[in-house]
């Protein structure tokens, strides 16, 4: 287990330094801590040995980088052997590795059921939602990296700020100036219209599409598939009214809006919620053209 080795040396230097203090209490506490560390280490080593020897383990290769710890600033890959259980996802395996082997392993996750969108990662060469990706579907060793085309903050955590900025840029919220007549009247949407925008409402802001997009990687101002999909969700919503639609089309048909898309289909391939992103972008392109060329 590659992670265990640097840790051991770290621990031993720590105990050397702690041998100096004169106070008896300090000494006792230091001794206690040392023993606890030893026990923990022994347990970890045993677990690791057992896991490595066991047939039914999964080999994880995880990208590691920590700018705050000297010696970890050079990006590297750590190998973890995680006992396989039926139905295990990449996130489960990562959590096992974190809880059992190396508590410094850092990654985002919260709901663990593909709803919150916080654990998009680069698994075996593709942007995947770790909680939705079955280990049994992957080739070993499973290589887990942070999302490409984003700055790595630590281990598997990337800076999502730019992605959120782009999402905000399309004003991703319902707005209208067309209200129904009655005071207590509801703003109803007909079934066809709901069906039309149904897929686009499924976005969970995980950022997988943005990470997979070659154009977004080269052009920082490009709105990106997720933001355009969000714009589609509201531009196509008939309840917003014609005036709002014009406003939304103005945003998406800017230089770095829909026209940057070159239909590589990368976003559609990686989307964990199966949103037909390219289709939506193409439809908005046609809407923009129809809006500007009025021959009919």
Partner 1 sequence: MSQSYNRGLIEDFGRWREFEAGMWAWIFHKFTGWVLIGYLFTHIAVLSTGIPAAGASQAAINAGTDVYTQTIVSLEGLLLVRLLEVGLLAVAVFHMLNGTRLLLTDLGIGLDAQDKSFYASLILTGAITVASVPTFIAGAF
CB 151 within 8 A of CB 217: no
Token couple for 96: 């096992």
**Least distance (Å) between residue 286 CB and partner 1:** 7
CB 176 within 8 A of CB 187: yes
Site for partner 1 in 38-77 (CB under 8 A): 65, 67-68, 73, 75
Alpha carbon distances (Å) from 60 to 48, 108, 272: 13, 17, 21
- Based on the shown chain and the rule CB under 8 A, indicate whether residue 141 belongs to the binding site for partner 1: no
Indicate the residue among 149 and 245 with the shorter CB distance to partner 1.
149
- Based on the shown chain and the rule CB under 8 A, indicate whether residue 149 belongs to the binding site for partner 1: yes
Indicate the residue among 214 and 291 with the shorter CB distance to partner 1.
214
**Least distance (Å) between residue 128 CB and partner 1:** 12
Q: Could you tell me how many residues of this chain bind partner 1 (CB under 8 A)?
A: 33
Indicate the residue among 112 and 162 with the shorter CB distance to partner 1.
162
Torsion of CA 230, 231, 233, 237, to 10 degrees: 160
- Based on the shown chain and the rule CB under 8 A, indicate whether residue 266 belongs to the binding site for partner 1: yes
Q: Judged by CB under 8 A, which stretch of 25-33, 83-91, 222-230, 260-268 contacts partner 1?
A: 260-268
- Closest C-alpha to 156, from 164, 165, 147: 147
Interface residue with partner 1, options 152, 170, 203, 210 (CB under 8 A): 152
- Closest C-alpha to 219, from 258, 265, 276, 266: 258
Q: Is 67 exposed, middle or buried (0-12, 13-18, 19+ CB in 10 A)?
A: exposed
Indicate the residue among 30 and 226 with the shorter CB distance to partner 1.
226
Handedness of CA 161, 163, 169, 175 (dihedral sign): negative
- Enter the DSSP assignment of 158: E
Token couple for 10: 């770290």
Indicate the residue among 79 and 282 with the shorter CB distance to partner 1.
282
Peptide bond into 22 cis (omega under 30): no
**Least distance (Å) between residue 146 CB and partner 1:** 8
Alpha carbon distances (Å) from 27 to 8, 161, 247: 20, 46, 70
Phi, psi at residue 216, to the nearest 5°? -60, -30
Interface residue with partner 1, options 141, 172, 241, 276 (CB under 8 A): 276
CB 229 within 8 A of CB 282: no
Indicate the residue among 110 and 264 with the shorter CB distance to partner 1.
264
**Least distance (Å) between residue 290 CB and partner 1:** 12
Pattern 206-245, binding to partner 1, x per CB under 8 A? --------x--xx---------------------------
**Least distance (Å) between residue 208 CB and partner 1:** 13
Interface residue with partner 1, options 23, 56, 177, 262 (CB under 8 A): 262
- Residue ranges binding partner 1 (CB under 8 A): 65, 67-68, 73, 75, 122, 125-126, 145, 148-149, 151-154, 159, 214, 217-218, 262-266, 268-269, 276, 278-279, 282-283, 285-286
């Amino acid at each position: 287990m590659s992670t265990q080795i640097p840790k051991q040396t770290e621990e031993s230097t720590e105990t050397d330094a702690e041998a100096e203090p004169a106070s008896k209490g300090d000494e006792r506490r230091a001794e206690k801590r040392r023993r606890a560390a030893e026990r923990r280490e022994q347990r970890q080593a045993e677990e690791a040995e057992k896991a490595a020897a066991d047939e039914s383990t999964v080999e994880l290769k995880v990208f590691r980088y920590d700018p705050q710890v000297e010696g970890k600033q050079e990006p590297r890959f750590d190998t973890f052997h995680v006992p396989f259980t039926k139905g295990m996802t990449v996130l489960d395996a990562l959590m096992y590795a974190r809880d059992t082997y190396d508590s410094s392993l850092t990654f985002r996750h919260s709901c663990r059921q593909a709803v919150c969108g916080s654990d998009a990662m680069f698994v075996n060469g593709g942007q995947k939602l770790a909680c939705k990706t079955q280990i049994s579907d992957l080739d070993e060793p499973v290589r887990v990296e942070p999302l490409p085309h984003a700055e790595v903050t630590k281990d598997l955590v990337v800076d999502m700020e730019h992605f959120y900025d782009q999402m905000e840029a399309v004003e991703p919220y319902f707005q209208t100036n067309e209200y129904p007549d009655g005071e207590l009247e509801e703003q109803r949407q007909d079934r066809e219209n709901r069906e039309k925008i149904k897929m686009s409402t499924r976005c969970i802001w995980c950022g997988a599409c943005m990470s997979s997009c070659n154009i977004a990687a080269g052009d920082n101002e490009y709105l990106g598939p997720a933001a355009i999909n969000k714009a589609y969700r509201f531009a196509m919503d008939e309840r917003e009214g014609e005036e709002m639609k014009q406003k939304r089309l103005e945003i998406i048909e800017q230089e770095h809006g829909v026209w940057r898309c070159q239909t590589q289909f990368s976003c559609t391939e990686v989307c964990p919620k199966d949103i037909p992103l390219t289709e939506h972008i193409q439809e908005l392109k046609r809407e923009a053209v129809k809006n500007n060329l009025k021959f009919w």
